[in-house]
Amino acid sequence: MIFFARCPLVGRYSKTLAEKAAWAFVGSERAVHAASGHRLELATILPSFIIGPPRTPRVDSESLANMAALLEGRLPPRGDTPMVDVRDAAAAHVAAAELPGAAGSRFIVSTPRPVTRAQVMEVVADAQPDLDLLRSESPDAARAPQPVIFCSRTADRLDVRWTAPEDSLRDMASAMVRQGVVEAKHRAGAALDPAPKHVATEL
Segments making up each domain of the chain, as ranges: 9-42, 44-179
pTM to 2 decimal places: 0.82
Q: What is the pLDDT of residue 4?
A: 47
State residue 84 phi and psi, 5-degree precision: -150, 145
Q: What is the pLDDT of residue 141?
A: 60
Q: What is the pLDDT of residue 183?
A: 87
Instruction: Check: CB of residue 57 under 8 Å from CB of residue 201.
Output: no
How is domain 44-179 classified at the CATH fold level? Rossmann fold (3.40.50)
Q: What is the pLDDT of residue 3?
A: 46
CB < 8 Å & 24+ apart, contacts of 159-165: 159/95, 160/88, 160/91, 160/92, 160/95, 160/109, 162/84, 162/85, 162/88, 162/109, 162/111, 163/52, 163/85, 163/87, 163/88, 165/51, 165/83, 165/85, 165/111, 165/115, 165/119, 165/123
**pLDDT tens track, the chain, 203 positions:** 444 455 667 878 899 999 999 999 988 876 666 666 677 889 999 999 999 999 999 888 999 999 999 999 999 999 999 999 999 999 999 999 999 999 999 999 999 889 999 999 999 999 999 999 998 876 666 566 667 776 778 888 999 889 999 999 999 999 999 999 888 888 765 555 544 443 333 33
Q: How far is CA 171 from CA 38, 44, 81, 110, in A?
A: 43, 26, 18, 17
Separation of alpha carbons 33 and 140, rounded Å? 56
Q: What is the pLDDT of residue 112?
A: 87
Q: What is the pLDDT of residue 33?
A: 64
